[in-house]
Structure 1
Amino acid sequence: MGECADRQRLDRWIWHARVVRTRANAAELIRSGHVRLDGARVTTPSRMVRTGQVLTISLDSATRLLRIVGFAERRGDATSTSVLFEEITEN
């Protein structure tokens, strides 16, 4: 049985959204404390996320603010990620 359509594991979502190259990289990013969910630090890769939640992801090159708007069963190409999140820009 697949995952519910309204939620998904955090590490899987980050990988599907192509924030990092591998799911293992996504899990390590989370365990290292570089991911916040609605402002609270998350260190558990299996944490479930839902649409509408906001991720703050600190990467080497930049910090990204992403609002979750959808989920994917598989990792698609770069253009398919537009249905997974909205990039939030700070003014």
Structure 2
Amino acid sequence: MADGTSLRLDKWLWFARFFKSRSLAAEACRGHKVRLNGGHVAKAAATVKVGDILTFARGERLFTVKVLELGVRRGPAPEAQALYEDLSPPPPKRDDPDIPAPVAARDAGTGRPTKAERRAMDRLRAGDD
């Protein structure tokens, strides 16, 4: 750590802006949700070096990144993106048939449909007029 060749994993994830806070990054590490070079990480204090491969999930997306630099601070997004190379597959397109369509799209703030509106939606889905 003092030699500048390694850095705590939770700090690096926070520097690279994958997590909003360092405590969230540490929690992900402690929860075995981060892999370092293929092995699960049990502690946030695990060290990361240049060239390491990290795999972790954020939301519905799986990230695989290669560490290019260690960084010294949590800077702006362009500075954070220079710390890693994204090896992740591209996110799936929304027109992919394997992704379920949203149940019912409604304008924000309109609330639940009334019984009459629900019956009208059911008739529309069934193709009846």
* TM score, norm. by length of structure 1: 0.90
Aligned to 2:14: 15
Aligned to 2:66: 67
Question: Percent of aligned pairs with the same residue?
Answer: 30
Aligned to 2:3: 4
Q: Secondary structure at the match of 1:14?
A: helix
Q: Which runs of 4+ in 1 moved over 3 A?
A: none
Which structure has more relative contact order (CA 8 Å, sep 6+)? It is 1
Q: Quote how far apart the aligned CAs of 1:58 are.
A: 1.5
On the 8 A contact 2:62/2:88 being kept in 1, the answer is: no
Q: Quote how far apart the aligned CAs of 1:50 are.
A: 0.5
Q: Quote how far apart the aligned CAs of 1:44 are.
A: 0.4
Aligned to 1:47: 46
Q: Quote how far apart the aligned CAs of 1:6 are.
A: 1.5
Q: For structure 1, which runs of at least 5 residues remain unmatched after alignment?
A: none
* Alignment deviations for residues 14-71 of structure 1 (CA, whole Å, 9 cap, x no partner): 0000000000000001111110001100010001110101000122221100100101
Q: Distance in 2 between matches of 1:59 and 1:32?
A: 13
Q: Quote how far apart the aligned CAs of 1:8 are.
A: 0.3
Q: Which amino acid aligns with 1:84?
A: L
On the 8 A contact 1:37/1:54 being kept in 2, the answer is: yes
Q: Quote how far apart the aligned CAs of 1:89 are.
A: 3.1
Aligned to 1:77: 76
Aligned to 2:24: 25
* TM score, norm. by length of structure 2: 0.65
Calculate the aligned-residue CA RMSD, in Å.
1.5
- From the CA coordinates, give the structure whose radius of gyration is larger: 2
Q: For structure 2, which runs of at least 5 residues remain unmatched after alignment?
A: 91-129
Q: Quote how far apart the aligned CAs of 1:4 are.
A: 2.9
Give the paired residue count.
Answer: 90
